[in-house]
Structure 1
Amino acid sequence: MTTGRVTLLDVARRAGVSRTTASFVLTGRRDMRISADAEQRVRRAARELDYRPNLTARSLRTSVTQTIGLVSDTIATDAFAGEIIRGSTATALTRQHLIFIGETEGDQATEKRLVQDMLDRGVDGFLYAAMYTREIRIPAALRGHPVVLVNCLTAGRRAVAVVPDEFAAGRSAAMALLSAGHRDGIHIVGESAAHVHAARLRRDGIDEALAAAGARVAGTVEASWWPEPAYEAVRGFLAAGPRATALICLNDRLALGAYQAVAAAGLRIPEDLSVVAFDDSDLASWLRPQLTSVALPHFELGRLAVELLLDPDRTGGVRLVDMPLRPRSSIAPPRP
């Protein structure tokens, strides 16, 4: 009876072949003539013995460790953006890879140490991820190594990056209101900050979709991206009395504050005011009525990033990932 870790030699002896023959069969090599009978015996012996290859020994021979380093700012502890981790690890497992995950909390010294520690462990490549989409500078320690940027971009070089298609998402949000009959009285809730990548592109998409339909944004309710500021801003906006038929909130947290302000004003969603937002967080389904929201594709970002990193024929450039609209109950035709 075999004890301890089953070796390739154990498999070869059980199958009645040489160790070299067993190795060629189990690694899929075809540069040695092996009979079908011998190949079947080797595979059967491997199954019966529950043989698992020694990946450490293989890495010493091939310089491939089948490991990936994921370096992020705060996505590991952010429940929502943590979907990037779930998508990347699930995809890596299907490709027989493992992922080392390190979080920097934005500290450059921590980042440098994490990258070096992963390099010391021989990772085959890196995913460099950000919690929110923005332009970054690739750490110097990563230069010369395979890297795919996740939810971030860089200028000055043709890096491989996967980011959400925020422009198309803005179009989708506007089209949801246009399809319900809204034309006038559509207001955006959120910051008009040109440096915020998502906000800028979402607004550009909204403007284009409305312009194509002969409409335009009636105004902006300025508020930072949290419920309390949104509540105060929307409450003041509604009290001032401008005609509004719909609100496009730049994220779900803003929508939560807007919902509370609408209720405080004695109005109802969607009968008096339609609302659409972005992110499709848990808030979207918890709110009543449930919120129509454009989903952030974090799982898909992680999945595609791993596929690109492991693709030997990958080319540089940005891949845009679709952000699907999740229709719910917060949109209705405008009141006459």
Structure 2
Amino acid sequence: MPPQRATLLQVAQRAGVSRSTASFVLTGRYKDMRISEDARQRVLRAAQELDYRPNLMARSLRTKVTKTVALISDTIASDQYAGRMIHGSLAAAVARGHLLFIGETEGDPVVEEKLISDFLDRQVDAFLYASMFTRPIRVPKQLRDRKVVLLNCLNRGSFPVIIPDELSAGRDAARTLLEAGHRTGIYLVGHVPDQVFAGRERLAGINEALGAAEARLAGTIDCDWWPGSAYDAVSRALADGLVPKALICLNDRVALGAYQALREAGVDIPGEVSVISFDDSELAAWLRPQLTSISLPHYELGWQAIETLLGDSTEPAVQRLPMPVRRRASIGPPRGE
């Protein structure tokens, strides 16, 4: 049988104080109770000697606070890269003395409803509702009267939102090329559907920054956001006589396909064509030359979501977190300049 845990009464008896005095000391409320430093030290010493641990279940029944939060996501928990949002959330929860429960739905509404019900049965204090890709969502009915922060997703309701600043990221991608001297021959690589928030925002930022410098995209090499599609599209464009000076790829997988096509065509990066991308996944550092990429701040998103969830403000504001430029070796001055 496991050893019986020490009780608060046993701590008080060993310290020679009342049970309420021991409680005030161990919960940090002694300052307003005129408890002497000697008594406080005796209580702390007794608690250490008895290996006292508070009964959190009993405390939660009394206070209606369980010091637990739940993260409901579609697939971020099983994605190695986006999973850093989980790491950031966990670290922030631990820093605030909370436990974080994690549930993944894979987009199944039945699974989602069951997970939320289970978390509510466990009386979690608050919820993060998260998405793998930044997109509009509907908050489940079970959560609409709860304390909720939306992580990497958007809603027109009254909930705080934490998302990456994709608009500024687009501006920074264009400005990075402009600072290197590029004004012409800049092509976007990737398809931008209206419903894809990241692509739409990135393109708007690119156009805004180029326009401010009296420059513009020379065109778009249309492809899916995947290496094979990007490789095929860039290969066709080069075979048809396209001579780009710079490529802005909508993510690192697109950049991988573009790199392969450029290499097969004998085009030097960055001597003949500069390449910049978004996401700053592990691919960016693996490619040769290493790829300049705009970083998705997954860890920071998770951290800030917990900070907002457990903070005092309940304002339904949208917080856009900066996406840093990771400068590497894939950008140079325009050829011949």
- Counterparts of 2:174 and 2:77 in 1: how far apart (Å)? 32
- Counterparts of 2:232 and 2:202 in 1: how far apart (Å)? 23
Counterpart for residue 91 of structure 2: 90
Counterpart for residue 331 of structure 1: 331
1:113-152 equivalences under 5 Å are 113-152=114-153
1:301 to partner: Cα distance: 0.7
Counterpart for residue 43 of structure 1: 44
1:212-291 equivalences under 5 Å are 212-291=212-291
- Counterparts of 1:118 and 1:215 in 2: how far apart (Å)? 52
1:197 to partner: Cα distance: 0.2
Which amino acid is the alignment partner of residue 96 of structure 1?
G
Which amino acid is the alignment partner of residue 123 of structure 1?
V
In structure 2, stretches of 5+ residues that fail to align are none
1:6 to partner: Cα distance: 2.2
- Counterparts of 1:221 and 1:50 in 2: how far apart (Å)? 66
Q: Deviations over 1:83-134 (max 9, x none)?
A: 1100001110111111111100001111001000000000000000000100
Q: Secondary structure at the match of 1:191?
A: coil
In structure 1, stretches of 5+ residues that fail to align are none
1:170-181 equivalences under 5 Å are 170-181=170-181
Greater shift in the superposed pair: 131-140 or 20-29: 20-29
Q: Deviations over 1:48-85 (max 9, x none)?
A: 33322111110000000011111000001011110110
Q: Secondary structure at the match of 1:195?
A: coil
Q: Secondary structure at the match of 1:21?
A: helix
Q: Deviations over 1:274-300 (max 9, x none)?
A: 000000000000000000000001101
Greater shift in the superposed pair: 42-51 or 15-24: 42-51
Q: Deviations over 1:143-200 (max 9, x none)?
A: 1100000000012x23111000000001111111111101100000011211100000
Counterpart for residue 10 of structure 2: 10
- Counterparts of 1:192 and 1:281 in 2: how far apart (Å)? 20
1:46 to partner: Cα distance: 2.2
Which amino acid is the alignment partner of residue 320 of structure 1?
R
Counterpart for residue 310 of structure 2: 310
- Counterparts of 1:17 and 1:221 in 2: how far apart (Å)? 77
Which amino acid is the alignment partner of residue 66 of structure 1?
K
1:20-59 equivalences under 5 Å are 20-29=20-29, 30-59=31-60
Which amino acid is the alignment partner of residue 274 of structure 1?
S
- What is the root-mean-square deviation in Å for CA atoms of aligned residues? 1.3
Paired-residue identity, %: 60
- Counterparts of 2:161 and 2:50 in 1: how far apart (Å)? 43
Q: How many residues align?
A: 334
Which amino acid is the alignment partner of residue 248 of structure 1?
I
Q: Secondary structure at the match of 1:270?
A: coil
TM-score calculated relative to the size of structure 1 = 0.97
Q: Secondary structure at the match of 2:33?
A: coil
1:201-220 equivalences under 5 Å are 201-220=201-220
- Counterparts of 1:158 and 1:221 in 2: how far apart (Å)? 39
Which amino acid is the alignment partner of residue 214 of structure 1?
E
- Counterparts of 2:56 and 2:46 in 1: how far apart (Å)? 19
1:18 to partner: Cα distance: 1.1
Counterpart for residue 195 of structure 2: 195
- Counterparts of 1:276 and 1:115 in 2: how far apart (Å)? 41
TM-score calculated relative to the size of structure 2 = 0.97
Greater shift in the superposed pair: 49-58 or 216-225: 49-58
Greater shift in the superposed pair: 47-56 or 91-100: 47-56
Greater shift in the superposed pair: 39-48 or 139-148: 39-48
Which amino acid is the alignment partner of residue 28 of structure 2?
G
- Counterparts of 2:172 and 2:241 in 1: how far apart (Å)? 28
Q: Secondary structure at the match of 1:144?
A: coil
1:31 to partner: Cα distance: 4.6
Which amino acid is the alignment partner of residue 45 of structure 1?
A
- Counterparts of 1:69 and 1:220 in 2: how far apart (Å)? 42
- Counterparts of 1:10 and 1:272 in 2: how far apart (Å)? 77
- Counterparts of 2:132 and 2:61 in 1: how far apart (Å)? 35
- Counterparts of 1:283 and 1:120 in 2: how far apart (Å)? 42
Counterpart for residue 76 of structure 1: 77
Counterpart for residue 153 of structure 1: 154
- Counterparts of 1:293 and 1:50 in 2: how far apart (Å)? 50
